[in-house]
């Protein structure tokens, strides 16, 4: 089941895992909201740079991020980095 959440009129793709009873949110969408970045590619680049820096620093938070297929703006599903609420708060 895929869902779209709105935060200040910006879309955040999400997925609810019924088995684990956990919400997952698109990290790139969250980055776009927090940086006020309307350009998806720039938000994606920001996340890629941040993820690489965290890995170099030895942060384990990146390993807690999963990949799920979420619907993109073109209507197709692509693997996207996602995180649950706890992991998102740690990233922020």
Instruction: Evaluate whether 80 touches 68 at the Cβ level (below 8 Å).
Output: yes
For 62-89, what is each residue's pLDDT tens digit? Answer: 989 999 999 988 999 999 999 999 999 9
Total domains in the chain come to 1
Global confidence as pTM: 0.86
What's the alpha-carbon Rg for the chain, to the nearest Å?
13
Residue 56 lies in domain = 2-91
Q: Please say whether the dihedral angle defined by the alpha carbons of residues 43, 41, 55 and 80, taken in this order, is positive or negative.
A: positive
The first and second tokens of residue 90, run together, are 């740690």
Length of the chain: 92
List helix spans (H) across 1-92. 27-34, 40-56, 85-91
For 3-33, what is each residue's pLDDT tens digit? Answer: 666 566 778 999 999 999 999 999 999 999 9
Instruction: Evaluate whether 80 touches 25 at the Cβ level (below 8 Å).
Output: no
């Amino acid at each position: 089941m895929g869902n779209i959440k709105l935060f200040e009129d910006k879309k955040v793709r999400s997925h609810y895992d019924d088995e684990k009873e956990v919400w997952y949110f698109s990290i790139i969408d969250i980055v776009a909201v927090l940086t006020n970045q309307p350009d998806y590619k720039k938000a994606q680049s920001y996340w890629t740079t941040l993820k690489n820096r965290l890995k170099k620093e030895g942060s384990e938070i990146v390993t807690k991020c999963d990949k799920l297929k979420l619907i993109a703006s073109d209507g197709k599903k692509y693997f996207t980095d996602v995180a649950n609420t706890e992991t998102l708060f740690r990233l922020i």
